[in-house]
Amino acid sequence: MKLCFYFVFALCLLAHVFIVVSANPLMLPTLKATKLHKIEPRKIPKVISPAGILSTTYYIKSCPNLEGIIQQKVNDWIKKDYTIAASIIRLHFHDCAVRGCDASILLNHAGSERAAQASKTLRGFELINEIKAEVERRCPRTVSCADILTAAARDATVIAGGPFWEVPFGRKDGRISLAKEANMVPNGHENVTTLIDFFQKRGLNIVDLVTLSGSHTIGRSTCISIQQRLDNFRGTGKPDSSMDVGYLNFLKKQCSRDTNFVNLDATTPRTFDEVYYKNLQTKKGLLQTDQLLYSDARTAPLVAALASQPQLFISQFAVSMVNLGNVQVLTGTKNGEIRHNCNYVNP
């Protein structure tokens, strides 16, 4: 019965992916006024969300080589250091999670998001700066840092073995960046209710939450982020009982120092695949927020569906990354700017 439920659930989720990716606007029948009711149609203003203004052809004339520039730079960096792929995806999430995808995480000044405690382990700033410098050389004052970071996250995903998706462009860069807001981003210790609420406030749903958590199929974490799970979980003086004993012992050896790194995916850390979800089913989720996804009734069926269907994970990841990239974007000349340097607002 349980397997049947997962099968039906997965089919519904797959249908959702197909609809989001390929659906055309609904063709509604035209209503004709009868002779008895000759009513002049009222002109209703069309309301377009900021995300609806974005376009995959936004720079096709003003900077036609943009995507090639970004792809080449990202590829060069990942060749030298494969761990930078996960870092760029994470940097993009931290940007979009605070004030939307406006490159506010890149601003480098006292009291900025970048200076927050929660941002201390973020990486990839130098790569974005290098891309921006080359883009400015070829297309001066044309491309926003927010668009560069969004496209770089896509290319990092593809190079790491994940899916490709078309990135809609047209975001503007924000002028405000506050450390206290960055410290509100989930850090691996929250419960599922808190995570769901955090995502919903940004227009993302529970499917996006579970799917985007799958980015932990690659990348690493510092040991300090999980130390309390290893020896003093919730002040009990004991390790987290939801962790596989063998995996627990392995992590204790790996984390002899808080500054050491451990892979987020215990099984296939260099492969972008669904094994991250299978690890949760065998109590091998590294972060507490990872493991809780399989113990909570609201998210466990999604974990099971994504674990059993690799293509479902790949397809939905592309959809959810587009959703993430559309969070509270700034568009138009009044809402933001195109920074000349990603580290500073324009003078």
Binding site per annotation, positions for heme b: 216
Contact residues for 97 (Cβ-Cβ < 8 A; gap 6+): 185, 186, 198, 202, 327
- Active site (annotated) includes residue 94: yes
The tokens of 108 are what?
Answer: 């480098």
Residue 221: strand pairing partners: 262
Dist. CA 171–CA 11, nearest whole Å:
34
Residues 146/171, Cβ–Cβ less than 8 Å: yes
Q: Which of 177, 174, 110, 127 is nearest to 146 (CA)?
A: 174
Residues flagged as binding site for substrate = 186
For 220, the enclosing helix (H) or strand (E) is: strand 220-222
| Amino acid symbol at 306 | L
DSSP E strands, the chain: 220-222, 261-263
Dist. CA 78–CA 89, nearest whole Å:
12
Q: Residue 21 CA to chain centroid, in angstroms?
A: 17
Residues flagged as binding site = 95, 98, 100, 102, 104, 113, 186, 216-217, 265, 268, 273
Active-site position among 16, 37, 92, 94 = 94
Active site residues: 94
